[in-house]
Structure 1
Amino acid sequence: MGKAAKNLTEGQKKARRKGKLIVTGWIVGAIVVVIGILVAVGAIGYNGNMNKIKNLEAVGSTIETPVYDAENNSYTITISGDRELKVLHLTDIHIGGGFLSISKDGWAIEAVATLVERVKPDLVIVTGDIAYPVPFQAGTFNNKREAQMFGELMDKLDVYWALTFGNHDTESYSYFDRDEIAKMYYENSLACGGKWDKLLFSPGPDDIYGSCNYTINVKNDNSYVQSFFIMDSNAYMGDDPFGIMWNYDRIHDDQVEWYESEVNRIKALNGGNVVKSMIFFHIPLTQYRDAWEEFRANGYKNTADVTYDYGFAGEGDEKVCCSEEVSPLFDAVLRLGSTKGIFCGHDHLNNWSVEYKGVRLTYGMSIDYLAYFGIYKKYEQRGGTVITVQPDGSFTVKAEPLADGVYRGSEYYPQ
């Protein structure tokens, strides 16, 4: 204590303490006011985007109501005759839901609505990162708000849809964990008679890794012609719970065992005939990296194992952000001979599609306006992917860019 302070009278000391309390009170009050303003702005913006959703026109669906099998965590869609089934694959929507992302959330909503209205799919499959509850970009930790906003969007568009989780849907610092968000989706889904009655979702078996492992089977008259495996590629490895080191998780061994048992179960239902299938998840397999590195090393020309179809590698150094641990899934795919197409998201600037060892590996075009800094100014990577399933279960894949005339398809690496 300085000499001057020692010489203060008791009254002067009391006045000084009172002054400090007043200043502290003003600071705390100002902080509370600022927080209140930000919360109010966020609420107004959120409600504004919800009103935008309410004003959209329904697209509708022409397929029969799918049937849910609770015992096997599976849905069945029935088509007949020569009818095709059109699937729109979307990924990395990245709705922030907070005061910092109001405009970009609105753009994402408009992008999804535009693609659904244009494609008029029978089914939309979203491979994760619907929500982006990163506070310094979104302005909130509340990941349920983003999920609910997307649910309301799809409900308004009135098309059947399914989803799996990405690494951002349930961050370790988010208000709600993976199981809680899965429960919210499930309780609102067709399976439970929920308000989103065109949502096809299941958390999947309790005894395997992940919170959304389930199947959607397609029957043409009395035969199974295609199965969609929706799988949880999880988020981060245990030594990187916040994802700071980009140490991504993978599809675990028990999930692969479940996949194999489902392939065999559906085969048995189909009179012993293997049913063609596709797999949808968020984080790419290491085989995506293997395929692209082989293609790149060969001067961007096809090899014995890699056949290029379309798209480009836009990530830095053409990186594939997969796990460093190899999942046994791809080996199971080759061994079982059912799956001929795998679809993922995660790397927002990669949207290529190649065939690797007889299996089509495809990155979905992303929606993201928020997560990658400056990505709202880019456009070549933004859009969806259209998968058309023929009556016999064979399929075609094509990119569906949001903006017309900006996507050059296979011209990036002409063969």
Structure 2
Amino acid sequence: MSRFRSSSAAVVAIVLLVVLIWGVEANPEKNPLRFREDGQFKILQVADMHYSDGLSTPCEDVLPSQLRGCSDLNTTAFVHRMIDTEKPDLIVFTGDNIFGPDATDAAKSMDEAFSPAITSGIPWVAILGNHDQESTLSREGVMKHIVGLKHTMSQFNPPGEIDGFGNYNLEVRGTEGSSLANKSVLNLYFLDSGDYSTVPRVRGYNWIKPSQQVWFQQTSKKLQKAYTSGSAAKKAPAPGLVFFHIPLPEFASFDSSNFTGEKQEPISSSSVNSGFFATMVEAGDVKAVFSGHDHINDFCGELTGIQLCYGGGFGYHAYGKAGWARRARVITASLERMEGVGWGVVKTVKTWKRLDDKKLTVIDDMVLWSKNYGGNRRKKQIHGA
């Protein structure tokens, strides 16, 4: 009996040690995302890391003065800098996390690519791009590996139920102790936009399929019903933010007069318009969409009440533009302060980008959506960190 007790005590000690080292698991059921005590929730978007083999992987499209010693490790350092500076509540990797053709071991490349998020202990998620499966793991295998990593809230949907391997949603609840502490006041949707068309007569990139749109519609309706029921019922749905890799054809709707940021290359969407933009408009809760894929586009533009935003190229082993700094997008939602009640519903959703320069310069600070105005109100700024 004493040996059993000693053995049990040893197991408990080991478990406690593991918890101390790794922190609490990012389980949306046991540890739901929620707004901080200051009424803020911040998301860091990391688009197109294109991580391959670490130190041996050279940088692309940088100035000659930057080329020596530049590798995947510059991408890793940038992720660390962004986490340390912005201290996000959630990190979102929006595809092409690894660059399959140059990655000799997909699992190892992913472990290293996501290591800054893992070591930070901050909840993080990832969706797939068109290059993630081009190494030693299938698309299904890549997503299965991701969901097995520490602190991730990524989810895997088995093949056959919904097209793709990473269609899921996360709820962000109100502040602890508030009347909305048990309601999702901000809804996050993540979709697998696929890689390349499998239809012989259609060339180019894939698109969001009908099964995924049905899943989105059902999920949106369920969340809206839960939000508007009960004593804390609200008339308008909680705002929703959507993340996927390949931009929709509607991203081509803008010119320099109606977007904030830069458009320096054609929109590399699918040639097929599957109607997902219309599906989001009809759902009524989506306020902004965030994509990657086109590395030297970093703009946000509003169409029919929805902001369409690029993350901007992040990774150093990804094509870019020499002299045009790698960048990351930050999205922050702020709750409304209600006198005598505390924090209420989401009041504004804002965004800005940081450049990977000496000061992590902030650019294009703007309001994406406001409860009081319904749409965006631009406020362009450029300033140092």
With normalisation by structure 2, the TM-score equals 0.74
Whether 1:131 aligns to 2:76 is: no
Instruction: From 180, 183, 189, give the equivalent of 1:223.
Output: 183
Instruction: From 117, 141, 152, give the equivalent of 1:154.
Output: 117
In 2 relative to 1, CA 215–408 (structure 1 residues): closer, same or farther, beyond 3 Å?
Answer: closer
Q: Quick check: 1:263–1:338 contact (8 Å CA) kept in 2?
A: yes
The answer for the alignment partner of 1:261 in structure 2 is 218
Q: Quick check: 1:115–1:383 contact (8 Å CA) kept in 2?
A: no
Q: Quick check: 1:267–1:275 contact (8 Å CA) kept in 2?
A: yes
The answer for the alignment partner of 1:122 in structure 2 is 89
User: CA deviation digits over 1:2-47, x for unaligned, max 9?
Assistant: xxxxxxxxxxxxxxxxxxxxxxxxxxxxxxxxxxxxxxxxxxxxxx
The answer for the alignment partner of 1:91 in structure 2 is 47
The answer for the alignment partner of 2:196 in structure 1 is 236
Instruction: From 200, 218, 239, give the equivalent of 2:153.
Output: 200
Q: Quick check: 1:133–1:168 contact (8 Å CA) kept in 2?
A: yes
* Superposition deviation, residue 97 in structure 1: 1.4
* Superposition deviation, residue 390 in structure 1: 1.2
C-alpha distance in 2 between matches for 1:268 and 1:249: 32
In 2 relative to 1, CA 225–268 (structure 1 residues): closer, same or farther, beyond 3 Å?
Answer: same
C-alpha distance in 2 between matches for 1:118 and 1:215: 27
The answer for the alignment partner of 1:179 in structure 2 is 140
Q: Quick check: 2:72–2:315 contact (8 Å CA) kept in 1?
A: no
User: CA deviation digits over 1:119-139, x for unaligned, max 9?
Assistant: 1111111101110122xxx3x
C-alpha distance in 2 between matches for 1:365 and 1:402: 12
C-alpha distance in 1 between matches for 2:287 and 2:145: 32
The answer for the alignment partner of 1:353 in structure 2 is 300
Instruction: From 297, 301, 313, give the equivalent of 2:263.
Output: 313
SS at 1:110 equivalent? helix
SS at 2:205 equivalent? coil
The answer for the alignment partner of 2:349 in structure 1 is 395
Aligned pairs for 1:293-332 (under 5 A) are 296=255, 300-302=256-258, 308=259, 310-315=260-265, 319-332=266-279
Instruction: From 304, 318, 338, give the equivalent of 1:371.
Output: 318
* Superposition deviation, residue 409 in structure 1: 3.6
Q: Quick check: 2:48–2:318 contact (8 Å CA) kept in 1?
A: no
Instruction: From 324, 335, 338, give the equivalent of 2:282.
Output: 335
* Superposition deviation, residue 330 in structure 1: 0.8
Percent of pairs with identical residues: 23
Whether 1:108 aligns to 2:78 is: no
In 2 relative to 1, CA 158–378 (structure 1 residues): closer, same or farther, beyond 3 Å?
Answer: farther
C-alpha distance in 1 between matches for 2:171 and 2:91: 14
SS at 1:390 equivalent? strand
C-alpha distance in 2 between matches for 1:151 and 1:224: 27
User: CA deviation digits over 1:286-328, x for unaligned, max 9?
Assistant: 1101x22xxx3xxx324xxxxx2x210122xxx0000001122
Q: Quick check: 2:125–2:153 contact (8 Å CA) kept in 1?
A: yes
Q: Quick check: 1:368–1:376 contact (8 Å CA) kept in 2?
A: no
User: CA deviation digits over 1:44-103, x for unaligned, max 9?
Assistant: xxxxxxxxxxxxxxxx99xx9754359xxxx83133665201111111011111775164
Whether 1:278 aligns to 2:235 is: no
C-alpha distance in 2 between matches for 1:122 and 1:270: 22
C-alpha distance in 1 between matches for 2:98 and 2:300: 25
Amino acid at match of 2:261: G
C-alpha distance in 1 between matches for 2:145 and 2:270: 28
C-alpha distance in 1 between matches for 2:324 and 2:334: 30
In 2 relative to 1, CA 246–100 (structure 1 residues): closer, same or farther, beyond 3 Å?
Answer: farther
C-alpha distance in 2 between matches for 1:329 and 1:385: 23
In 2 relative to 1, CA 170–378 (structure 1 residues): closer, same or farther, beyond 3 Å?
Answer: farther
Aligned residues between the structures: 312
In 2 relative to 1, CA 384–232 (structure 1 residues): closer, same or farther, beyond 3 Å?
Answer: same
C-alpha distance in 1 between matches for 2:273 and 2:123: 33
In our comparison, the structure showing a higher alpha carbon Rg is 1
C-alpha distance in 1 between matches for 2:120 and 2:49: 16
User: CA deviation digits over 1:200-252, x for unaligned, max 9?
Assistant: 11013540101111111111113321111011111001158xxxx97011111
Instruction: From 223, 244, 248, give the equivalent of 2:205.
Output: 248
Q: Quick check: 2:43–2:91 contact (8 Å CA) kept in 1?
A: yes
- Tell me, which stretches of 5 or more residues in structure 2 are unaligned? 1-21, 59-69, 175-180, 336-344, 366-379, 381-385
Give RMSD over aligned pairs: 2.9
In 2 relative to 1, CA 205–78 (structure 1 residues): closer, same or farther, beyond 3 Å?
Answer: farther
* Superposition deviation, residue 150 in structure 1: 1.9
The answer for the alignment partner of 1:164 in structure 2 is 127
User: CA deviation digits over 1:341-383, x for unaligned, max 9?
Assistant: 10000000000111111101110022121232xx474333x11
C-alpha distance in 1 between matches for 2:33 and 2:243: 17
Q: Quick check: 2:46–2:93 contact (8 Å CA) kept in 1?
A: yes
C-alpha distance in 2 between matches for 1:247 and 1:153: 33
Q: Quick check: 1:97–1:133 contact (8 Å CA) kept in 2?
A: no
Whether 1:362 aligns to 2:309 is: yes
